[in-house]
Structure 1
Amino acid sequence: MDTQIDTILAFLESVHPYDSLPRNEMARVAASFGRREYLAGDRIYEVGEPLKGLYLIKRGAVEVTDRNGVLVSILGPRNTFGERGLMRDGLAVTNAIAVEPSVVLVLPEGDWRQLIAGVPAFERFFQRGRSAEVRSSDLTTLKVTDLMARSPVSLPPEASVTEAAQLMREKHVSSVAVTREDTLLGLVTTRDLTEKVLAAELPGSTALGQVMTVDPLTLSPDALGSDILHMMLERSIGHLPVVQDGKLKGMVTQTDLTRFQAVSSAQLVRDVVACETAEEMAEVTARIPRLLQQLVAAHNAHEVVTRLITDIADTVTRRLLKLAEAQLGPAPVPYLWLACGSQGRQEQTGVSDQDNCLILDDSVTEGDRPYFKALAKFVSDGLNTAGYVYCPGDMMATAERWCQPKAVWRQYFRGWIDTPSPEAQMLASVMFDLRPIGGTTALFRELQEETLAAASKNSIFVAHMISNSLKHHPPLGLLRGFATIRSGEHKNHIDMKANGVVPVTDIGRVYALRGELTEVNTRARIEAAEDAGVVSVSGARDLIEAYDLIASLRLESQAALVKAGRKPDNFLAPSDLSDFERSHLRDAFVVVRTMQSALGQRTGALG
């Protein structure tokens, strides 16, 4: 029995928010968990059944569907489910089925509610997760402008039906708006061409004005998704022009609604799991920008958006590892694939490269090396094919330096801590963001604990890390303005990554270092630092609010680019913001700069 509790305890140390508990409290919680095993296809619970407690996946995969059988999510190790039912009346509001042999830990409801009531990190974690789950899937509350095609296909009324048919084929659409100087006159659909032209044996030269639906039903840009659904269902129509002041602004079709409902993080994860090649995965990940746009449009918190997008990258990585082992055979010794950078912090957006490494068991021999070299190449090449391009700094498992036994990694960290050169500071900054993705997590747990302990006690190293964290400055200009980029492609823009989120990421990393905190996500680090007393309550609250605004505006800018048919980037023009937004963004940058100054002053960071 003790062995089982120790195993659960070791697992909880790698799961947020359990990793924020004091050691003795974590041990108590570990003893409260029950352990259940399921075969592929086994039902865990159904809608309306009393829940046994909060479910936590230790191994395997679980599919969650709603009462209509529509997929809600497909979950893997360290994912939690069942909390929505507990937050209501203890009855399941979804169905859960094991899709492969799985081990699930169950925390009784009483113990879970005690944690929610007594540990701030738990309350924040589950309340945010629940509200996001509701929002992200709610089509009815989205505005029409978030669903419509930005550039509707249109022709003048004199154009022929042949021209319309050819244009529809070329643009892969099922309708053409009939306009004159952007004023909507009518609508022609493929159904009109079939019933009014072909069936009536009209010539191809027939003008659209003769067969169009005059004054079709329209919507305004501020209408909601519910308005679209109700109108389409009530009137049995599949095309709705969006009109403002008589001018055509867009078009919403049943296909748009279907596409929206089909693009979810859960569906993308499920599709990745079914892929047999990296090329197939690339077809799935190509839908991520659309997912980003939808999640932002649904007003999800930025940390929820980036977490869901990162989950897809994690799934791609684990799937590639599985395919690699299928091709190369079982690994000769235990290994662990880890991600760093934005994937490690679970902060990926629409712009991501790959940063990763391998920790090998110390029993590895020179004869085993070719296997892991091939494994690293297979996975890194696959990630590149799937859209996670090679790291320009070669921070990848394919580099021999970053594919080493645990003992060598221990030497790396000790060397960086004992001799904090500029390169050591840079590497330490990257490697303090490591997060296990696939393999034997035990290879990292002890290494992480001893590294954080050693680093936090080395005042010179901490001072160097703080100094390094102050190199990225918020873009504050004179007279309440912004320091924008002065020339080049992004002239008069702000780099919302390098000068926006990175300074906060650096501060959060220092907090984690000083408090020996195992959290990797930036927001979670600040919250954990507040709970641990590393930073004042007011300072943490101010910094979180500033970070939320900066990160949210960055995502909104990326979503706007996607909506316009452009590739997302990290550059934002302050002129695109309202006066209100500009004022608050500058205030947020002031908070970040103030917190940077406080770090330097309190510790005497090296300049």
Structure 2
Amino acid sequence: MQAELIDIRNHMAQYPPFDELAEELLDRVVGGIEVVYFRAGSPILELGEQNDWLYYIRSGAVEIYRRSGELYNRVGEGEVFGQFGLLMNKRVRFPAKALEDTLVYKIPGSTFQYLWEHDENFADFVEIEDRSRLRSALSRREKSNELMTSRVTRLISRKPVSAPSTVRLQEAARIMTDQGVSALLLMDETGEHPRLQGIITDRDLRTRALCEALPSETPISEIMSEDPITIRSSVFIFEAMLTMLHNNVHHLPVMEGEEVRGVIALSDIVKYESQSSLYLVSNIYHQQHVRGLKKVSRDVRDSFVRMVNEDANSHMIGSAMAGIGRSFTQRLLELGEEKLGPPPVPYCFMALGSMARDEQLVVTDQDNAMILDDSFVPEEHDAYFLALAKFVSDGLAECGYTYCTGDIMATNPKWRQPLRAWKAYFTDWIDNPKAEALLNSNIFFDLDGIYGQTEFTEQLKTLVAEKAANNKRFLAFLARNALNRTPPIGFFRSFVLEEGGKQQKTFNLKRRGTGPLSDLIRVHALACGSRAQNSFERLKAIGQTKLLLDDDLGNLRDALEFISIVRIRHQALAIEAGREPDNNVRPEDLSPFERSHLKDAFQVVSNAQKFLRFRYQPQAARHVP
């Protein structure tokens, strides 16, 4: 092959769909190419004219138009155009014009037809639009992980073992021994149909019965866990894993309607979940001091990398990391109470930001607060809660969760307040919105109670859901703040990079990617009155209200997933290379596949921000007195 053709082949092999072609097919493409040069401003394709070529851009940029003359897209190096006409009747459907001096490879229609017939990936690529290609790329990735494609019923190996909730302790132990199970379901049989009332496990028998030397005739109802956490038979295995992580339980009854289909245990999921994040959480709760927790924390990054290498999706990874972070926090609170004594009044420890959204990764800091019972008297009680907050905050720092630079932590007295004060905070933020105040309090609209009286947090979620949806002024201010961070994509679909400083020639995938997405999704979710916190769950809630079209929701979901996965992989590669992970990416470190689809994803974010500006009129917020 001539040197010029080798150069063409090497260039095309970097970009989809040619990067996945078999070598003989790529050789066939390169052998029939014609090279054409277009000056800036010159037409390339005219509406309705005959077209027998697929166009591949070697350098330069091209504008694609709708038949109305409206700009449809801009494409650059490594991208193709002209495919839609070839798929229809070989008539130009989208006119094209060179935006700048552009070098193009023309691929004959006969070669295009041959590739379309003989290569499924090529056919998929040219048949669907940019954002649909993003969905296609994610679908292929998801299919590679059994945790995300297998239903939880696959783990059920036997019928559930149950007993009436009126049995005695010794009888319950005998049934579990005879049946060889580690959990026994306890049923309320007083109605027409038996109803699941509780569950007892081997661990419960040890800690609640044997350690307390309870008599064998003790009613099992005295030590059972009432109203156990359950899952539906239709969910996937990864959802069961996240449920166990979030609630620190090792057994889950699987429900089909009101009937128990079976019980799955932690050991069942570990057969699939070799990342061992469930075992890591279990190990956290066995530690008796901060030194032990610090030692266990070294395994967090290993668990993260294993999940990435096994093709877990971003929701699974973010939820697992948040579950691990919650577990460190909860164990520190338990140890703190052992050290300081029982709390003088009830309280709730509240997670904020990415932990509350189940979107935490390994590069993260602390964002938390305390809600205290309204019987709280600062002069009598605050010394205890300050000491507890400091014990937890310092312990988290030891375990790799750095202090919040904005001081949004329970150690700050402003964020350690009784419930009535928190209700006043949220009421003021919503009823009397101010741009700067909301900018600093955005994080409080992602909240989750993780320890203590978690119903306090539920009350705040209810207050926000009821008040925010009906307050256009508040939503306008929130939307204005959500537009402060824009995706790093320029006018010509090129990446916009940082200038100066140690992050020069990079873009930040959190600040310019997942951050703007979670911000705008939050606005829509609050406008819908949703109580959901996770961005994917918020998108589901938004879909139920029809505020956004299904296609727009799908585009947002795919963009969030793809940007998150690129960010996650960037951090995992840094860990494997022995570097400190971060969120700053250089375009040259990304594969052509990642670069191409990131541009698609960033375009989705840009379009979504335009709709946010139209929907909530944030420009008016700055003029409101």
What band does the TM-score fall into relative to the shorter chain?
0.5 to 0.7
1:274 equivalent to 2:421? Answer no
Select the residue among 278, 289, 296 that pairs with 2:308. 296
Alpha carbons of structure 1 residues 37 and 402: separation in structure 2 relative to 1, 3 Å: farther
1:571 equivalent to 2:587? Answer no
> Cα offset for 1:385?
1.2
> Cα offset for 1:102?
9.0
> Cα offset for 1:578?
2.6
Residue 143 of structure 2 is matched in structure 1 by none
Alpha carbons of structure 1 residues 57 and 590: separation in structure 2 relative to 1, 3 Å: farther
* AA aligned opposite 1:547: L
SS in 1 for 2:355: helix
Q: Is the 8 A contact 1:265 1:291 kept in 2?
A: yes
Q: Is the 8 A contact 2:330 2:450 kept in 1?
A: yes
> Cα offset for 1:444?
2.0
Residue 506 of structure 2 is matched in structure 1 by 493
SS in 2 for 1:343: coil
Alpha-carbon distance in structure 1 between the residues aligned to 2:420 and 2:557: 37
Alpha carbons of structure 1 residues 314 and 87: separation in structure 2 relative to 1, 3 Å: closer
SS in 1 for 2:361: coil
Select the residue among 436, 454, 462 that pairs with 1:449. 462
Alpha-carbon distance in structure 1 between the residues aligned to 2:197 and 2:503: 45
> Cα offset for 1:87?
8.1
* AA aligned opposite 2:582: D
Write the mapping of 1:362-377 to structure 2, written as runs, cut at 5 A: 362-365=374-377, 366-377=379-390
SS in 2 for 1:450: helix
Select the residue among 477, 502, 506 that pairs with 1:464. 477
* AA aligned opposite 1:530: G
Alpha-carbon distance in structure 2 between the residues aligned to 1:481 and 1:86: 40
Q: Is the 8 A contact 1:60 1:101 kept in 2?
A: no
Alpha carbons of structure 1 residues 56 and 338: separation in structure 2 relative to 1, 3 Å: farther
Alpha-carbon distance in structure 2 between the residues aligned to 1:413 and 1:467: 18
* Larger-gyration structure (1/2): 2
1:541 equivalent to 2:548? Answer no
* AA aligned opposite 2:342: P
Alpha carbons of structure 1 residues 554 and 426: separation in structure 2 relative to 1, 3 Å: same
1:110 equivalent to 2:122? Answer no
For residues 124-148 of structure 1, give each alpha carbon's deviation from its aligned partner in whole angstroms, at most 9, with x where no partner exists: xxxxx99xx97x8559xxxxxxxxx
Alpha carbons of structure 1 residues 101 and 449: separation in structure 2 relative to 1, 3 Å: closer
SS in 2 for 1:358: strand
Alpha carbons of structure 1 residues 480 and 78: separation in structure 2 relative to 1, 3 Å: farther
Alpha carbons of structure 1 residues 49 and 325: separation in structure 2 relative to 1, 3 Å: closer
Write the mapping of 1:409-424 to structure 2, written as runs, cut at 5 A: 409-424=422-437
Q: Is the 8 A contact 2:374 2:419 kept in 1?
A: yes
SS in 2 for 1:381: helix
Q: Is the 8 A contact 1:347 1:521 kept in 2?
A: yes
Select the residue among 373, 385, 388 that pairs with 2:398. 385
Residue 349 of structure 1 is matched in structure 2 by 361
Residue 399 of structure 1 is matched in structure 2 by 412
Alpha carbons of structure 1 residues 311 and 572: separation in structure 2 relative to 1, 3 Å: same
Write the mapping of 1:502-581 to structure 2, written as runs, cut at 5 A: 502-581=515-594
SS in 2 for 1:338: strand
Q: Percent identity?
A: 33
Alpha-carbon distance in structure 1 between the residues aligned to 2:611 and 2:505: 29
Alpha carbons of structure 1 residues 547 and 77: separation in structure 2 relative to 1, 3 Å: farther
Q: Is the 8 A contact 1:364 1:405 kept in 2?
A: yes
Alpha carbons of structure 1 residues 471 and 37: separation in structure 2 relative to 1, 3 Å: farther
Alpha-carbon RMSD across the aligned residues, in angstroms, is 4.1
Alpha carbons of structure 1 residues 566 and 538: separation in structure 2 relative to 1, 3 Å: same
Alpha carbons of structure 1 residues 592 and 408: separation in structure 2 relative to 1, 3 Å: same
TM-score normalised by length of structure 2: 0.60
> Cα offset for 1:356?
0.3
> Cα offset for 1:348?
1.0
> Cα offset for 1:39?
8.8
Alpha-carbon distance in structure 2 between the residues aligned to 1:327 and 1:572: 43
Alpha carbons of structure 1 residues 386 and 77: separation in structure 2 relative to 1, 3 Å: farther
Bigger CA drift: 504-513 or 479-488?
Answer: 479-488
Alpha-carbon distance in structure 1 between the residues aligned to 2:168 and 2:370: 31
Alpha carbons of structure 1 residues 300 and 444: separation in structure 2 relative to 1, 3 Å: same
SS in 1 for 2:410: coil
1:332 equivalent to 2:479? Answer no
For residues 532-551 of structure 1, give each alpha carbon's deviation from its aligned partner in whole angstroms, at most 9, with x where no partner exists: 32322111111001111000
Alpha-carbon distance in structure 1 between the residues aligned to 2:357 and 2:562: 18
Structure 1 unaligned segments of length 5 or more: list them.
1-33, 65-75, 115-128, 140-260
Q: Is the 8 A contact 2:294 2:398 kept in 1?
A: yes
SS in 1 for 2:376: coil
1:283 equivalent to 2:430? Answer no
1:477 equivalent to 2:477? Answer no
The alignment of Structure 1 onto Structure 2 pairs a total of residues equal to: 415
Alpha-carbon distance in structure 2 between the residues aligned to 1:452 and 1:52: 36
Alpha-carbon distance in structure 2 between the residues aligned to 1:57 and 1:353: 40
> Cα offset for 1:59?
10
> Cα offset for 1:427?
3.7
1:408 equivalent to 2:421? Answer yes
Alpha carbons of structure 1 residues 555 and 39: separation in structure 2 relative to 1, 3 Å: farther
Select the residue among 570, 587, 600 that pairs with 2:613. 600
> Cα offset for 1:553?
0.5
Q: Is the 8 A contact 2:486 2:512 kept in 1?
A: yes
Alpha carbons of structure 1 residues 387 and 531: separation in structure 2 relative to 1, 3 Å: same
* AA aligned opposite 1:571: N
* AA aligned opposite 1:110: G
Alpha-carbon distance in structure 2 between the residues aligned to 1:410 and 1:38: 45
> Cα offset for 1:36?
10
SS in 2 for 1:539: helix
For residues 501-550 of structure 1, give each alpha carbon's deviation from its aligned partner in whole angstroms, at most 9, with x where no partner exists: 00111012112210111111111111221123232211111100111100
For residues 259-311 of structure 1, give each alpha carbon's deviation from its aligned partner in whole angstroms, at most 9, with x where no partner exists: xx6x6111211111111222211111111111111100000011101111111
Structure 2 unaligned segments of length 5 or more: list them.
1-163, 188-194, 205-224
Write the mapping of 1:63-78 to structure 2, written as runs, cut at 5 A: none
> Cα offset for 1:554?
0.4
